[in-house]
Structure formats: structure tokens, C-alpha cells
Amino acid sequence: MAGVKSKRPGKAKRKVASPVVSQEDYQQRINAMPAPYKWPLLKGRVPDGWIGSNLKDGNYRQTPAKGYLRRIGDFLRPAPGLAFIGSAPALSTAAAAKKEVNRNHNSLKQYTDWIPHFDLTSGVANGLGTLTAVRDANNARKKYIDQSNDSDSKKLAFIEGAGSSAGVARSAATSVYNFSDYFNTTTSASAVSNIAAGASIAIGAADMAGGIYGAHVASKRKKGILDVKNDITRLRDADPDIEEGDPYKDHLRAADIGMASQGREQVTSGGKILKGAAGIAGGALIIAGFATAGMGLVIGASLIGIAATIVNAVKKRKHKKEIVIDILGVKARREAWKAEKKRIEKNTWWGFNAREQGMKEIGEDPLNIALANSGYKDIGICYDNYIKEVSDHLYSFGIINNNVPTLNLIKNLGFNISPEKRRYITPKKIAAKLSV
């Protein structure tokens, strides 16, 4: 047609959907990855930007990677990365001790020359620690701007963010200091060391402030949840139709879970107070010129934090088991089974046929049988599934239907339940705060 420019023939562009792969193929791809890329995916962790980041109908969708920083963050999540970063204070102390021995005891230098390059490894570990501190600061920022959080949660997030920001400065300064020592550069070692020490004092102050205020908030919330539980119990006792079903049991169980979580928050807060005191003392000693002793106290601060985490992990594991036993209704059967098991162990010797025969007669742990019959592989999966269900239950009763006791329970988890802020509360957020 005259005057009309014809289009050049060619293939039309098509949008290609992300390929869907089976779980077996997904596992094969993971197994084929080099170890550093495989670590974040080993225990069911599926970070964004990797294959399997979007789950739909049990299938795994492949999505493009979203940048190197995300990959580095995913690499730092699992145990190997965290263990290396956690060793940063110990490596820094070893480097400082070696330097002090070489400076003050020249006759011992021949014995310290064989020691590995603590300066280099400490520089790398603290450099990676900077990235985790940045991530922690960003997480605190998200908590602070979250409209669903109450004022106490926002204050705690602000203190946490201040400590994480100081952690960025400390890790970066320590990394620079150690690299300077290793490469014999002209960087002012004393200035960088003082920056790291000052940051340690700031972190300690933030930990102490967060610990003291966090303990107060956890105690207040725990008492508030107990008051709500008592209110719900009174409503339950006065309900004439309780025989036809117990609509209060999930509320009461959620209250027990919430109180246990606040109890663990109190342990965390106590650990923060001790950790902060050790960090402040360590930073002060470093500034005073006692680098080795100061770094030793910094290590002590880290160990206190680790100890509090372990105590809470043990307490939470025990509480999960108690909740799952209650959910599955096997408490009485399991008590009888445990008594019989104890009797057999008392009257027989380990490794002998009599004990083996006795254990066969009483059978498997009723809890394991109930888990298998309910389709759960372990206690953790059953507990997590229940937390999701009860969070949906609380959201429906409280946020959607304005049930007053439920709203008060949600409030004492750390939410702002004012009418204009409720829309920011989700079941997922309730689950996260219900079982800390």
C-alpha cells in the first residue's frame, strides 16, 4: 500500500514463563552447586533470588538472582558463615596478644612466628561481620517504621538499630586495623583502634539500655497476657454451652505461648545487660592501652550473648514439646509410657536382651505415634503449623470481629490495636510475635 511503510517480517517476541521444576530436580540442582552456594539451601532455606524462591502448589519456580549482596547475605546465614563471623573477636584477641608478645617479649618472638596470620583472618571475619551488622540495622529500621508495632516495640527497635549501627563501625574499624597490621600500611593504628573501642562502648551502652528496657517491657507484657488469660478463663467458666465445644482453648493456649515467649525475652534482656557491661569495660580497656584484656572482655560479651541464645533455644524446644503434647492429647498416655520405660531401665542393663525385649513390649513413644498419625515428621513442623493456625484464629476473632479479649491479647504481644493501625496487623506478624 503506497505511503505505508511495511514492517520487516520476523519472529514475534514471546514472554517465557519461569520454568517449573520438580522437588527431585530442585534437589539435584542443589547437590550440583559448589559448597558455598549450597550452604544457604541445605535445611530448607530458600532465599530470594535463588531457584525455589517462589513456592506455588508444591512446585519450585526458578527466579533470576537479585544481586551479589543478596547472595553474600544468604551465604552468611548458615552455620559455617556465622561461626566464622562469630570467631572475629577471638581472632582479634589472638592478633593483639601476638602483637603484644612480639613487642614486649622479643625473646618469645621465635615461638610466635609459627602462629597463623590472625591479622588477616580477623580482618576478613570482621569485614563480613560489617555486612551482618548492616543487615541487623536494616531489620531494626523495618521494625521501627512498621505501623503495626506499639510504642514500646518502636523504642526497642530504635535502641537495637543504634547498637547495630555502632556494630557496623566497630567491625569496619577492626577489619581496617587488622588489615593494616598484616600489610604494614601507614594507617594510624591507634586512631582506628580507638574508633573500634569507642564503637564497642556504644554497643555496650545500647545493649544495656535495650536489656533494661526490654526486661521491663517483657515483664509488663507477660502480666498483661496473664490478665487476659484470667479474663478468658472466667468467660469460659460462665459459658453454659461449654460441653458442646470449647471455643476458648486456642485463646488460652495462645496466652500460654505468649507468656513463655515473654519469659524468653526476659532471659535475652538479662543477657544483653551483662553483655553490655562487658562490652563497655572492654572498650574502655582498649582505649586505656590494654588491648588484649579489652578484647578478652569483648569475647566475654559475645559469649554471654551466645549463652543467652542457647538457654532460650533449650527453653523454647522444651516448650514446643509441651504444646505439641497438649495439642495431640497424648499427655496421659505418654506419662504412663515414660513410667513403664523408667521401670524397665531401672531393672535391666543397657545392651542386654531383657531391656531390648522390654522396650519392644511397651512400644514406640506415644508422641511419635501421634505425630506420624497426624502427618507430621517432627515436633517443630507440628508446632509451626499450630502457630500459623492459632495466629489466623486470633486475627479473625480480634482484628476482623473486634473480640475484646482477643484484641487485648494481641495488644500485649506488642501491637498497636488502635482502629487506624489495625489494618497493618497480619496473621504472619502475629505468629512472629506470638512465638519469639
Residue with cell 610466635: 112
The 10s digit of each residue's pLDDT in 398-436 is: 999 999 999 999 999 999 999 999 999 999 999 999 988
Q: Are residues 211 and 356 in the same domain?
A: no
Q: Are residues 265 and 359 in the same domain?
A: no
Q: Which residues are within 8 A (CB) of 133 and not within 5 positions of it... i.e. 6 or more apart?
A: 164, 165, 167, 168, 170, 171
Q: Are residues 342 and 315 in the same domain?
A: no
| Of residues 2 and 199, more confidently modeled | 199
CA angle 280, 90, 210 (to 5 degrees): 35
Write down the pLDDT at residue 135.
Answer: 85
Number of domains in the chain: 3
The 10s digit of each residue's pLDDT in 129-139 is: 787 788 889 99
Per-residue CA distances from 142 to 53, 66, 139, 154 (Å): 22, 20, 5, 10
If you compute the radius of gyration of the chain from its CA atoms, what whole number of angstroms results?
28
CB 89 within 8 Å of CB 125: no
Q: Are residues 314 and 335 in the same domain?
A: no
Q: Are residues 389 and 405 in the same domain?
A: yes
Q: Are residues 215 and 340 in the same domain?
A: no
Q: Are residues 152 and 245 in the same domain?
A: yes
Examine the fold and report which residue of 325, 340, 356 is the final residue of a domain before the chain moves on: 325
Q: Is 234 exposed, middle or buried (0-12, 13-18, 19+ CB in 10 A)?
A: exposed
Per-residue CA distances from 21 to 43, 58, 74, 417 (Å): 19, 10, 22, 42
Examine the fold and report which residue of 325, 360, 379 is the final residue of a domain before the chain moves on: 325
Q: Are residues 417 and 286 in the same domain?
A: no
Residue 57 lies in a domain: no
**Nearest to 175, CA basis, from 117, 131, 126:** 126
**Nearest to 167, CA basis, from 308, 283, 284:** 283
Q: How far is CA 192 from the centre of its chain?
A: 31
Examine the fold and report which residue of 274, 305, 325 is the final residue of a domain before the chain moves on: 325
Q: Are residues 303 and 356 in the same domain?
A: no
* Interhelix angle 291-328/88-104, nearest 10 degrees: 160
Instruction: Look at residue 100 and tell me whether its pLDDT is greater than 60.
Output: no
Q: Are residues 217 and 155 in the same domain?
A: yes
Residue 422 lies in a domain: yes
Residue 83 lies in a domain: no
C-alpha cell at 64: 533470576
Domain containing 354 equals 331-434
Residue 158 lies in a domain: yes
CA angle 110, 91, 136 (to 5 degrees): 165
Query: How far apart are alpha carbons 117 and 249 in whole angstroms?
Result: 59
DSSP state of 413: T
CB 106 within 8 Å of CB 146: no
Residue 1 lies in a domain: no
Residue 82 lies in a domain: no
Residue 60 lies in a domain: no
Residue 43 lies in a domain: yes
Q: What mean pLDDT do residues 256-276 have?
A: 95
pTM for the structure as a whole: 0.72
Instruction: Look at residue 87 and tell me whether its pLDDT is greater than 70.
Output: no
Write down the pLDDT at residue 136.
Answer: 87
DSSP H or E run through 298: helix 291-328
Q: Are residues 124 and 170 in the same domain?
A: yes
Q: Are residues 146 and 187 in the same domain?
A: yes
The 10s digit of each residue's pLDDT in 229-245 is: 999 888 888 876 665 55
